Amino acid sequence: MAKIVLQNWQFSQADEENWRQATVPGCVHTDLLAHNLIPDPFYAKNELDVQWVDKKDWEYTATFQLSKQDMEEDVLEIVFEGLDTYADVYINNEKVLTADNMFRRWNLDIQPYVHEGENALLIYFHSPILHDIDKPDQLGYNLPADNDHSEDGGTGEKKLSVFARKAPYHYGWDWGPRFVTSGVWKEVYIEAWSDVKIKDVYIKQNKVAADLAELQAIVEVESQAEKDIDLVVSDQHGFRRVEQFSIAKGIQTLEVPFSIAEPNLWWSNGLGDPYLYQFSIDIAEQDTVLSSKKVKTGLRSIRLVQEDDQYGKSFYFELNGVPVFMKGANHIPNDSFLTRLDKKNYQHEIATAAASNMNMLRVWGGGIYEYDEFYQLCDEHGILVWQDFMFACSMYPGDEPFLHSVRQEAIDNVKRLRNYASIALWCGNNEMDAAWSQYQEEAGWGWKQRYNMTQREEIWQAYDKIFHQILPDVLKEYDPLKDYWPSSPMQALSSDEEQHAGSNTVKKGDIHYWDVWHGQKPLEAYKEHVGRFMSEYGFQSFPEEKTVRTYAEEKDFELESPVMLHHQKNGAGNRLIKTYMDLYYKEPKDFAAFLHLSHILQANAIRMAVEAHRMNMPQCMGTLYWQMNDCWPVASWSSMDYYGRWKAVQYDMKDRFKQTVVIADQGNDQLTLYAVSDQLENQAAELIFQVFDFEGNLLDETRQNVEVQGNSSVVIYQEDVSAIAEGRSDVVLLASLKTGDRVLDRVEHLLVKPKDVELENPRISVEYVEDAIELTCQHFAMNVWLETEEDGYFDQNNFSLLPGQKKRVLFTESVIDNVDFSQIKLPEGLVVKSMYDFV
């Protein structure tokens, strides 16, 4: 089989015929930017100056050469892995395809349209805005889509994002800009083949256990004639299974059951090796291989367990028979212009997740079904994936063409992703069940009340059709062994008022808890609202100063400047950061200090949430904060910014997501220490509880042996706050958990809010000992922060430092989840600051 790559791509505005070189995969915006025809869309308020791009039609052309041998093949199939979005495809001036879904894979036999020698391809992209502009009028009403920045796009109240099967965030979000792209966003190629072709392979894992994996290779085959063939399944360890078939002309499915004794199981990060099998599937005729396909996958059992228990109904993931507490974040696309991404972007993100002791990422439903590189890396690093279908925070139309497109989109993506070991759950949509709240009249986001009863019935019928019929039906047919959850958050698929999740839901289902932030509740409210699985919650910060300077000038360095407000897509965001900061911290001394103090505030907030969730296991069995990453440089809920720079919260999550942690929980009158462990075995340990003053003097010490129970949370120490250091508040509590000489975890705790701590200059000293940075201080240092002129990553940051103690810190240029000492170096231009320098 020959693969022919298309070359010499050019693009033009359709009404100008002014052809310029294009990059494919790519999009109109990035091609225009490459030719300096638009300004940097991310800088200042330039976003608003490029909104004209999506109102134009665009054309892309390419040529391809076909040899005499190519023309003699049985099939010449052109494959479009992704067209964004409304596209007419012409080959040698004949229209061969009309595409209308960014998420679909399009392919067809082009033999009737081509000839030997040079051939021409033209793709005409219709403006997604002009294509859909009349659809609200045709429907008779606007569908709810509150994150659609229609006012910036010049469409007024018309929310068009819901009509296009296209990445919803392209139309704007409360963390992202509005860039409605068009273009060839994935590979285009021609496959020339004859005889037989393997079109798809599904390694169905019927039953996987430590002693035996019972599997099934389900192979979709297309043949040009009837014939007898051998279908061979093998792996890298010498396993080989041969089955004979008589196949007919056309497309058919062949099934080969096989088993592997004592398989190497795939485990999530922290629990074991994410082992991957490499299966080869060959079709042979008389020892001649006619077609081959390879599948790399991990063997594991994964299920969502929802069973009655002492707390209500469980909601947890069981991997290889083990209940696993999920630690991670929500993932959004890494760029507004997807085709600028490469494997390095994904390597950085997934390495960050692994290094931060995460074991799950949620691919959120307002972005894209991610590139294969994302899932390959999750497989390799043991990061489970909660996979949304691409529907979010909106209600969608229910006409037959739209529903047909949704079904085909689901089939294409389920088939593409189902072999990845990391896929743990398919979820229908983000927040739509809770937002509409069909069965509770006063609940929801006020959407229902915008419509009359006939309209409401139409909208809910469309919802029911997509999320309760089409998507589960597709999964039943193409990926039947994985669990499906219709909407996040949700309590249960009960078709009554018990279905919808509210912020206070604690007994079943998953929760998006936003009363801290949107609801302006204090951070301590995280401890009061702990559900069975916390699939969304978050707290904002600005990016660091180095990142802010990529889109703003010194004159813009004010909280309410037009540029700062433009790079804050949550309307009240800047004000909320300031409001919360005033509650917990002293006034920052300048704007640069404000930027960093927003990092410290965010880290404190998410840390408090994560600790509340972990110490309440097994009642709570998952915590996924919002959000992991950014699609442009912006003030947002991310833990690392658009350039991949770690904020303080990323370092805190690396610490708080460790397999075993000590958590200090202070109530009004009592301090409680928890030992929380995701390790499966119990650990005998020693708890050392110490009280220091700010000069490093030891005021009190308690030592006791404790049993750290596996896969659980236990109380290991309690004391009245008034009894600690005779009621003094100017002290630091240090709790360490040790097994022999190994420190499992240590945590510092202050008895008062940070704003009530009186700090002296800590006089931090820095020494270089071999390839490590060693820090000491003369007075207590809070929120010590290391930064460098060059981009890089420390193994720890945003920590406290006590006099008389040394902190040893390593620096690497790239993120690594297991320290590779060959990468460790001393950074250039090291600067060390602490809270004393910011307020």
Q: Is the peptide bond before 25 cis (omega within 30 degrees of 0)?
A: yes
Number of domains, the chain: 5
- Residue 595: inside a domain: no
- Domain assignment present for 30: yes
The DSSP output letter for 468 is I
Please give the model's pTM, rounded to 2 decimal places. Answer: 0.96
pLDDT at 729: 83
Give the residue ranges of DSSP H helices in 2-94: 28-34, 68-71
In tens, the pLDDT along 89-115 reads 999 999 999 999 999 999 999 999 999
Domain co-membership, 681 together with 803: no
Q: Among the three residues 297, 332, 360, which one is the final residue of a domain in this structure?
A: 297
**pLDDT tens digits for range 754-783:** 999 999 999 999 999 888 999 999 999 999
Contact between 734 and 746 (Cβ < 8 Å): yes
Range of the structural domain that residue 463 is part of: 389-416+433-512
User: Do the domain assignments include residue 307?
Assistant: no
163 & 281 share domain: no
- What are the residue numbers of the active site? 431
What is d(CA 519, CA 488) in angstroms, rounded to the nearest whole number? 19
Q: Residues 6 or more apart from 726 whose CB is under 8 A from it?
A: none
Only one residue has tokens 């999920």, namely 326
48 shares a domain with 151 = yes
Say whether both 123 and 206 belong to one domain.
no
What backbone torsions phi and psi does residue 460 show, to the nearest 5 degrees?
A: -70, -35
**Structure confidence at residue 726 (pLDDT):** 82
Beta strands in 667-802 (DSSP E): 670-677, 683-693, 698-708, 712-720, 731-739, 742-750, 765-769, 772-776, 781-787, 793-794, 799-801
Instruction: Note whether 833 and 723 are same-domain residues.
Output: no
Predicted confidence at residue 824, as pLDDT, reads 73
Q: How many CA within 13 A on the CB side of residue 428?
A: 27
What pLDDT is stored for residue 816 in this prediction?
66
Distance separating alpha carbons of residues 785 and 769, to the nearest angstrom: 19
Mean of the per-residue pLDDT values of the chain: 95
pLDDT at position 825? 75
**Residues 54, 141 within the same domain:** yes
Residue 372 belongs to some domain of the structure: no
Spatial contact of 71 and 115, defined as CB atoms under 8 Å apart: yes
CATH number of the domain where residue 823 is located? 2.60.40.10
For residues 704 and 787, membership in a common domain is answered with: no
CA-CA distance, 774 to 790, in Å (whole number)? 19
Give a yes or no: residue 355 inside a domain: no
Does 362 fall in a domain?
no
pLDDT < 70 positions in the chain: 503-505, 816-823
Strand order across the beta sheet in which 7-13 lies: 20-21, 7-13, 58-66, 117-125, 87-91, 94-99
Considering the domain architecture, whether residues 39 and 174 belong to the same structural domain is answered as: yes
Same domain (yes/no): 37, 148: yes
Element (H, E) at 79: strand 75-80
The answer to whether residues 285 and 229 touch, using CB atoms and an 8 Å cutoff, is: yes
Domain identity same for 669 and 815: no
Claim to verify: residue 55 and residue 167 sit in the same structural domain: yes
Asked, for residue 114, whether it belongs to a domain, the answer is: yes
Using the 3D structure, point to which of 244, 269, 297 is the last residue of a domain.
297
Kindly state whether residues 765 and 753 are assigned to the same domain: no
- Residue 792 in any domain: the answer is yes
